[in-house]
Structure 1
Amino acid sequence: MKFTASLLVLLLGSAVQVTVAQSTINQQIQTKATAMLPKLIEWRRYIHQHPELSNREVNTMTMVADHLRSLGIEVQTKVALTGVIGLLKGDKPGPVIALRADMDALPVEERNTLPFKSTVKADYLGQEVPVMHACGHDSHVAILMATAEVLASMKKEIRGTVKFIFQPAEEGPPGTEEGGAPLMVKEGVMDNPKVDAIFGLHISSALETGNLRYKPGAFMASSDWFTIRIKGKQAHGSAPWNSIDPIVIGTQIINGLQTIVSRQENIVRAPVVITVGKFHSGVRNNIIPEEAVLEGTIRTLDAQMQREVHERLKKTAEKIAEASGATVEVSIDNKTLVTYNDSTLTRLMIPSLVRAAGKDKVAAQNWTTGSEDFSFFGTKAPALFFNLGGMPKGMDPSKAGGHHTPDFYIDDSQLDVGVKAFCQLVFDYPTVVQEASGQQSRKGF
């Protein structure tokens, strides 16, 4: 009995010490991340003013690499062409935790009067285009740079290794180039050392600043790009009966594709989107052309539905064309997978998000038909991807500038919440996984 009582006192004392130590770490994270905010905003605005397109993020790569090296972090550059990998080894043994930020901008012309507005122009597929961070990747880079600085200052307390992944070409590599997360995975970014869990975030222009949102399971849609090439018969515009008009057939196909969504797929199970974004045909107003080309995207949140939509899209295009005497060639290119949040990992890490932002700022959300190539990292290790608010307080979300538009805008006054979230995940993950494993072992016993 004396031995048991002594052991109990010892265990309680150890538990108190662990709790105090954890509380101290949590406080350090809050203090250090808040102190980083001015520098974080400065970085974000510099990157915003100097955007670079996919697979062309050379200056951003150099800026990131120089910063990581200044912190004593092991650095590898030119990963997947312009990516950067940083490796921070903590002083205590533990898992390998990866944190990811994407770096590329978009061919969009910025429409505002900000002092750090982008006026950059660059070549995109042989055409000069304006360039803008119209999806918030500038914020992601700055947040992960700040996270690296905070964690490097707490190296002695870190259990395990932190792998910082600065990824190029999330928006998709240009033309036939390889790039993005698929190429990083192909080049072994999730190995050497092997990643045990990976975390990522995305800024949201329609979520109030300082808030965090997550969803277990399917979170963001897969993205497939399709091309439908219609072969008809050319004729004079005054004699359409001599033609097989690919333009008319193309419009019928566009309408037919929408019945896949509205009449063929069970959208109660999961959403489906089919959008035709490009329609090319003809050179002159009095000539019915021989060919028309439709290009678009498919978004699904269920693998079976994705396969069904592919089959139905091909069949719809072929049968409509056949009915008018035309032929079609259909190609579908898978760009991203469903971004899937490991349900157990998500459940275990929700308290970390709460510690970072506060209980009233963290909540679950619905899935979205937007897509993310972060999904490829999730095929190699349990993953958690979440949203960080960037909308000004009190603003109507319906009036917020949308992603990929000239009016996209981010309030960067609380980007430090992203730093706090990443740091909490790094420090909490080894403990919660160990506790979860212990509970599982006790249940088995």
Structure 2
Amino acid sequence: MKDLRTRVRALAENHTPATVADRRHLHAHPELSFEEHETVAYVADRLDELSIPYRRLAGTGLVAEIRGGAGPTIALRADLDALPIQEANTVDYRSTREGVMHACGHDVHTASLLGTARILNELRAELPGTVRLLFQPGEEQLPGGATLMIRDGALKDPVPQALFGQHVHPPLPAGSVGFRPGIYMASTDELFLTIHGRGGHGAMPHQATDPIVVTAQVITALQQLVSRESDPTLPVVLTFGKIASAGGATNVIPNAVHLEGTLRTLDEDWRRELHQRLRRTAEGIASALGARAELEIRHGYPLLKNDEPLTHWARDAARELLGADRVVDLPIRMTGEDFAFYTHHLPACFYRLGVGSPSPVHTDTFDVDEDCLTTGSALMAWLAFRRLAGEGPQR
């Protein structure tokens, strides 16, 4: 195994120039969710160069396989889409598309997986099974490209023994990674609430039903679902990030108020219960005050739960490849990820890749220390090869 570690590291270093070139091309040519036509074509061209077979699915997604011996199948996942953000960086590889940017590191994920493909392709004769590469569209937008990949059979014929995914993490330096076994990330639902009142003159509120006042009471009551009805040991977040009235002025009471928000939790049963309580509370308070509430809940991503035995093993394997000082334990996050859908179908591990960025993701100045690409490519290859060799939890 020591020889394999040395070879994986060396191959990752050898392929780093190509991986960096991939990342810079992808960063300069970002595409929004489910519009990744040029991106997936670029990935296909790189796979053609390696003679790795693939098939297109999920619209702008792709599944490739590196087939070695007659062993099990392991899957590795990267996402392809960018965000609607205007890049502020002035680097040579800055986005060439106005208002679109790889501000969440998906260019890093895709380039790293291409680097992994190069490593494993060179080790194909020794590979004790098949490595399936999932290049997935639409992580940033509901219904989440993972649902379409699953629908189109990305996890079938055969079902992979395990699935690994990685995501950039700005606070960690390049060369480091982080893991969390068990529940890691929250479910994410989108809320669209309208309070219908009756407009009127601001000086004669008794002749109107003020939806702004009703909205204030509804928001307060809904927050009490978090502070007084949720188990205080169970993380729940309810945030309304947008409020707008339908008309209104300093002396005009509007007819309606619209709110948009997000609900996040780490328990699927309580998530479903909260949906009912949100609707009942909003409708009940609005009705009691002479108004009417309409609540649309768009079901988003489920909670992300890493398989505990698999993730414990992967963390230990990462320590062997990178050194114990470069592998950290992560706290729970209330952000969401559509990789969560995969974790409800098969043993999966979603970990963080340090990129040493002073700017957080989803900002117009986000960039990475490109040394992270060597680590990202090597670790994916290392985990896949060792899991195919029969290491890790047996089921």
TM-score range, shorter chain: over 0.9
Q: Deviations over 1:144-172 (max 9, x none)?
A: 01111111111011111111000000001
Higher helix share: 1
For 1:35 and 1:255, locate their aligned partners in 2 and report how far apart those are by CA, in whole Å. 58
Q: Deviations over 1:326-368 (max 9, x none)?
A: 1111121221011111111112222221133211011221110
- Do the aligned partners of 2:74 and 2:388 also contact (CA within 8 Å) in 1? no
For 2:232 and 2:89, locate their aligned partners in 1 and report how far apart those are by CA, in whole Å. 38
Aligned mate of 2:64, from 86, 99, 103: 86
Aligned mate of 2:123, from 148, 151, 154: 154
For 1:245 and 1:119, locate their aligned partners in 2 and report how far apart those are by CA, in whole Å. 47
SS class of match (2:65):
strand
Offset of 1:277 from its aligned partner?
1.8
SS class of match (2:22):
helix
Q: Deviations over 1:245-284 (max 9, x none)?
A: 222222332233222222321232x311111122232235
- Do the aligned partners of 2:81 and 2:102 also contact (CA within 8 Å) in 1? yes
* AA at the equivalent of 2:241: G
Offset of 1:421 from its aligned partner?
1.0
- Do the aligned partners of 2:199 and 2:255 also contact (CA within 8 Å) in 1? yes
Match of 1:342 in 2: 307
Aligned mate of 1:164, from 99, 110, 133: 133
In the TM superposition, 1:6-405 aligns within 5 A as 22-77=1-56, 79-90=57-68, 92-121=69-98, 130-173=99-142, 180-268=145-233, 270-285=234-249, 286-392=251-357, 400-405=358-363
Which stretch of structure 1 is more off in the superposition, 333-342 or 250-259?
250-259
Say which one has the larger Rg. Answer: 1
Which stretch of structure 1 is more off in the superposition, 318-327 or 112-121?
112-121
Offset of 1:133 from its aligned partner?
0.9
Q: Which runs of 5+ in 1 are unaligned?
A: 1-21, 122-129, 393-399, 441-445
- Do the aligned partners of 2:236 and 2:266 also contact (CA within 8 Å) in 1? yes
SS class of match (1:334):
strand
For 1:417 and 1:103, locate their aligned partners in 2 and report how far apart those are by CA, in whole Å. 19
Offset of 1:93 from its aligned partner?
1.9
Offset of 1:313 from its aligned partner?
1.8
* AA at the equivalent of 2:239: T
Q: Deviations over 1:102-141 (max 9, x none)?
A: 01011112223222222413xxxxxxxx111111111001
Match of 1:17 in 2: none
Higher relative contact order (CA 8 A, sep 6+): 2
- Do the aligned partners of 2:306 and 2:349 also contact (CA within 8 Å) in 1? yes
* AA at the equivalent of 2:177: L
Q: How many residue pairs are counted as aligned between the two chains?
A: 394
SS class of match (1:104):
coil
Offset of 1:411 from its aligned partner?
1.8
- Structure 1 segments of 4+ aligned residues over 3 angstroms from their partners: none
Q: Percent of counterpart pairs with the same letter? A: 39
Aligned mate of 1:420, from 369, 372, 378: 378
Q: TM-score, normalised by structure 1?
A: 0.85
SS class of match (2:309):
helix
For 2:374 and 2:213, locate their aligned partners in 1 and report how far apart those are by CA, in whole Å. 53
- Do the aligned partners of 1:273 and 1:300 also contact (CA within 8 Å) in 2? yes
Cα 1:298–1:427 change in 2 (3 A) is: same
For 1:351 and 1:280, locate their aligned partners in 2 and report how far apart those are by CA, in whole Å. 50
Q: Deviations over 1:47-101 (max 9, x none)?
A: 1111100000000000001111211111112x111001111111x2211100000
Which stretch of structure 1 is more off in the superposition, 38-47 or 254-263?
254-263
Aligned-residue Cα RMSD (Å) equals 1.8
SS class of match (2:83):
coil
